[in-house]
Amino acid sequence: MRVLHPRGSLCWQVGNHVQNGEIFPLDLVLYPIFKKHELRLRNRIVWHFEHGLHGSRRLSGRYETVLWFTKGDEYTFNLDAIRVPSKYPGKKYYKGPKAGRLSCNPLGKNPGDVWILPNVKFNHVEKTLHPCQFPVELIERLVLALTDPGDTLLDPYAGAGSALLAALMHGRRAIGCDVVPEYVKITLDRIEALRAGTLRTRPRERSIYDPKLPRGGHARG
Ligand SMILES: C[S@@+](CC[C@H](N)C(=O)[O-])C[C@H]1O[C@@H](n2cnc3c(N)ncnc32)[C@H](O)[C@@H]1O
């Protein structure tokens, strides 16, 4: 709260803590702490992915959440920067005063609060030695929507540096730290690769693999 800009956002990404087969949704557990600091929840984004451990005594866990808080009621939110293709892009009003005009935003639709993005498993192009890194594209959407070029992103639990990379890729500044020196080294190496143009990331525009569709016919999540 001390270093957060008045128009700034705080995003807290967590899954479930699992103990003896019982799950503890960490966003629910932590929410009162954020409220104590008078942060305002704007969205509870559900990040859905298809891969993970297979449950035998409960349903397999296939989502985590991002709690998006703002410090105040005036906050940066660039919706146009993260619009996704509309389902029916050419659809028009067929009656009334707007008849014949496009009924949807030509820039695309609001991506909603359920985001379908592959998680970083062993065959993902971004995989490093870090055991639980985010896909860069998850943070890219947050960076584009919640910050302007030149703004600064702080990730105090930087891991393999995915959030820092998302910020740097889009002209933002980035500060990060981690208690494990090996992870800091991975982050620095990835930043160096970004500068050298050799960093491999999954492009934001790439469609999600769907085994039911013919090759090349995948829908964007
Ligand atoms: C879930 S990982 C973050 C992964 C990161 N988002 C990425 O995409 O690579 C959480 C990280 O927090 C670090 N961590 C845990 N406690 C910490 C602390 N007190 N201060 C700084 N980093 C910490 C861990 O070493 C771990 O790398």
- The 10s digit of each residue's pLDDT in 10-55 is 999 999 999 998 999 999 999 999 999 999 999 999 999 988 889 8
Task: Give CA–CA dist 128/156, Å, rounded.
Answer: 19
Task: Give CA–CA dist 155/169, Å, rounded.
Answer: 15
Residue 104 CB: number of other CB atoms within 10 A? 14
User: If pLDDT is split at 50, 70 and 90, which confidence band does 89 have?
Assistant: confident
**Ligand 1 centroid to residue 67 C-alpha, Å:** 17
What's the pLDDT score for residue 219?
A: 44
Q: What is the mean pLDDT of residues 62-83?
A: 97
- Under a CB-based contact definition with an 8 Å cutoff, are residues 112 and 47 in contact? no
Pocket of ligand 1 (CB under 6 A): 130, 132-134, 156-157, 159-160, 162-163, 177-180, 183
The average confidence (pLDDT) of the chain is 91
Residue 154 CB: number of other CB atoms within 10 A? 17
Q: Report, at the CATH architecture level, how domain 122-202 is classified.
A: 3-Layer(aba) Sandwich (3.40)
Ligand 1 atom closest to Cα of residue 183: 27
> Where along the chain do its domains lie?
1-77, 81-114, 122-202
Q: Which of 59-68, 91-100, 137-146 has the lowest mean pLDDT?
A: 91-100
Identify the bridge partners of residue 109 per DSSP, sorted by sequence position: 84
Task: Give CA–CA dist 221/218, Å, rounded.
Answer: 9
User: If pLDDT is split at 50, 70 and 90, which confidence band does 122 have?
Assistant: confident
Backbone region of residue 76 per phi and psi (left: phi > 0; alpha: psi in -120 to 50; beta: other values): beta
